Amino acid sequence: MEAAGVLAKVTQPTDWVNSLVVVEKPNGKLRICLDPKDLNQAVKRPHYAMPTLEDALAKIPGAKYFSKLDAKAGYWQMSLSAESSYLTTFNSPFGRYRFLRVPFGLVSSQDEFQRKIDETFENIPGLVGLVDDILIAGRTKEEHDKTLKAALDRATEKHMKLNPDKLTICMQEIEYFGHVISSEGVKPDPAKVTAIVNMKPPVDKKELETLLGMVTYLAKFAPHLADTMKPLRDMLKEDSDFVWDCHQQAAWDKIKSILASQPALALYDPTKKIVLQVDASKYGLGAAIFQDHKPIAYASKSLNKTEVNYAQIEKELYAIVFGCERFYQYIYGQEILVQSDHKPLETIMKKPLASDCKVYQRMLLRLQKYSIKVIHVPGKQIPVADTLSRKFLPAEPDDVTEDLDAQIHCIVKNLPVSDERMARIKKATAEDQSLVTVKSYIHNGWPDTRQQCHKHALDVWSFRDELSVIDGMILKGERIFVPTALRPQMLTKIHSSHLGVEKCLQRARQILFWPRMAADIQHTVANCTVCNERQNSNCKEPMLPHDIPTRPWQKLASDLLTWNSKDYLVTVDFYSRYFEIDERANTTSAALIRKLSTHFSRHGIPETLVSDNGPQFASDDFAQFAATWDFNHVTSSPSPMAWAKRQYRE
């Protein structure tokens, strides 16, 4: 990236230093990402006027031929000013670097990129650009080709790089931002209602009750839907058996048709706020977007064999990623409210990206380009997403799974644990009843309150959101959760070099974790026979009293003290405990010598003067003073001089 002109080395001090997140790609290469969460709070967003789809389509009336261009690595095509560049400085193991190009995730990136698109392709008739998708349209093929050539020439002139893998050239029907555009006009993308139209019929009363909950929620947007539901509602009566025949199937098909029709499915309005509802069940994901409580589009997805084994919190986070990426054309560049019935997601989304568990980091990175706020909503208040997650469509290829698998592989591969010891940890985890309960909660979701939690899992309740299950082991962040049976062995290993408590804690916290681990390590070190036999005997030295002088003013102690922001010189006689206190505006050696000379002139010259090693007493001037006045100057550490200070306080 440095060779490509994206990064530059930083050696000077900077006002901002951001965190760096490094993740492993499925192909084994590393991806470097900036964590700009704190920086985004200080950045002034330019709020560039984003064109709407309606604005764009108004520029291409009567078009019959269409092409679509895609800007490659769009943000990196914009340079940063020197001042802005230093704001993106980040730490790395190789020193500090800054971005020379606009980094991914900055709150102002989208506004500036849309401005660049508009300025690059301005005044080209038949061309509209939304985000990084550039639509070319023409009434005739000749007109279309002329506009396409003008766009390519302008891109070359302005050094705008295009992605050849995403070019769509000369089509009579094209998908553009959630709509299908053709010579016949604009129609909604059929994929918006696929989750409803292809929904399988229920197999028992419980599934039927779930489906009807969703239908009831949407009934206010569809005329006469309540009448159509009657044959299905009748089967929920206590005296009715669940029998699904042609009458029920006909009613169900009609309900799906009504829900997918225009009266039920509202048109997207770019001026209104969007709410994204998401949910994850054991085997599927569901998502729907709403405006004014009216549905705009639905989506669902089944989880594959690998995804089913994700922890529940990972599935819920995956549901947000799925919803954002499925409805990308609606929510990109806007502030979106995400409703989820999984409360821990609120906390995870507020954490700095670099401090989040690595299992979550890859999915959180995919959410960096969206401006979303996650709030907790009880499941019964989001019946559409809840139903879609349980009546899902078949699994589709998704690189989220590949990314997450790569990250899990990276975590396990980099653990400094031998294969043999890792196998013992997995076996002990499977046999530990408490950890079996914890694993069940991680996979299936935690109770709403601590009181509902099983006693075996109470110890981990406070940090439950940081736990994950990887390859049969429980991890807290990137540290292994040690089963109870292996803890004595781990304590012995931690203290094998007979280090002290702090060093043992530092060693353990790099890779291991269990509740009250610090207390266990302290107990192990304190009761180590070898350490106790060989530890230093730090016996307390007995106090050595001063020799008692034979006459007054024979031996003096002197010290400086500060009281109520004023400096004082205290001089005390060891024999009589008589003392002199003098306020001093100046505490230099010369000032102290003048004052002590006054005392000596009045009471006589002592044989010995005791003081600490303060600079006033340790100076050459004071040594010359002692030699001239012929007394022995003895210095000591400050603590013995406490007696002189105590005279003043008393």
Spelled out in words, what is the top-level CATH class assigned to the domain 7-188?
Answer: alpha beta
Q: List, for residues 86-135, the tens digit of each pLDDT value.
A: 988 888 878 888 888 888 778 788 888 888 888 888 888 888 888 778 88
What CA–CA distance (Å, rounded) separates 340 from 280?
Answer: 9
Q: List, for residues 278-301, the tens digit of each pLDDT value.
A: 988 877 888 888 888 877 777 777
* Range from 163-172, 386-395, 602-611, 631-640 carrying the lowest mean pLDDT: 386-395
Q: pTM of this prediction? A: 0.51
Question: What CATH number matches the domain at 415-533, 3.40.50.300, 1.10.3470.10, 1.10.340.70, 1.20.120.80?
Answer: 1.10.340.70
Domain positions in the chain are 7-188, 193-259, 275-406, 415-533, 555-649
pLDDT, greater one: 52 or 647 = 52
What CA–CA distance (Å, rounded) separates 482 from 462?
Answer: 17
Burial of 545 (0-12, 13-18, 19+ CB in 10 A): exposed
Burial of 361 (0-12, 13-18, 19+ CB in 10 A): buried
Fold of the domain built from segment(s) 275-406: Nucleotidyltransferase; domain 5 (3.30.420)
- Beta bridge partners, 30, equal 24
Percent of the chain with pLDDT over 90: 12
Tokens 């001239």, located at residue: 628
Burial of 102 (0-12, 13-18, 19+ CB in 10 A): buried
- Beta bridge partners, 287, equal 278, 299
Position 334 pLDDT exceeds 60: yes
Q: Are strands 275-280 and 335-340 parallel, antiparallel or unpaired?
A: parallel
Q: State the pLDDT at residue 408.
A: 44
pLDDT, greater one: 148 or 41 = 148
CA dist 448 to 491, 555, 591, Å? 34, 75, 72
pLDDT band at 406 (very low <50, low <70, confident <90, very high): very low
DSSP 60-92: STT--EEEEEEBTTGGGGSBPPHHHHHHT-EEE
Position 80 pLDDT exceeds 90: no
Q: State the pLDDT at residue 30.
A: 62
Q: List, for residues 484-537, the tens digit of each pLDDT value.
A: 999 998 898 888 888 888 999 988 888 889 999 999 999 999 898 888 887 776
pLDDT, greater one: 335 or 57 = 335
Q: Do 275-406 and 555-649 agree at the fold level?
A: yes
Of 507, 204, 202, 195, the C-alpha closest to 322 is 195
Q: What is the 3-state secondary structure (H, E, C) of 428-440?
A: HHHHCHHHHHHHH
CATH homologous superfamily of 555-649: Ribonuclease H-like superfamily/Ribonuclease H (3.30.420.10)
Q: State the pLDDT at residue 210.
A: 78
pLDDT band at 625 (very low <50, low <70, confident <90, very high): very high
What CA–CA distance (Å, rounded) separates 571 from 569?
Answer: 7
Neighbouring C-beta atoms of residue 379, cutoff 10 Å: 13
Q: State the pLDDT at residue 227.
A: 62
pLDDT, the chain, mean:
80
Position 640 pLDDT exceeds 50: no
Q: Are strands 512-513 and 555-563 parallel, antiparallel or unpaired?
A: unpaired
What CA–CA distance (Å, rounded) separates 322 from 333?
Answer: 17
Q: List, for residues 152-196, the tens digit of each pLDDT value.
A: 999 898 888 888 888 889 888 888 876 778 777 666 566 656 666
Q: List, for residues 558-576, the tens digit of each pLDDT value.
A: 998 888 888 999 999 999 8
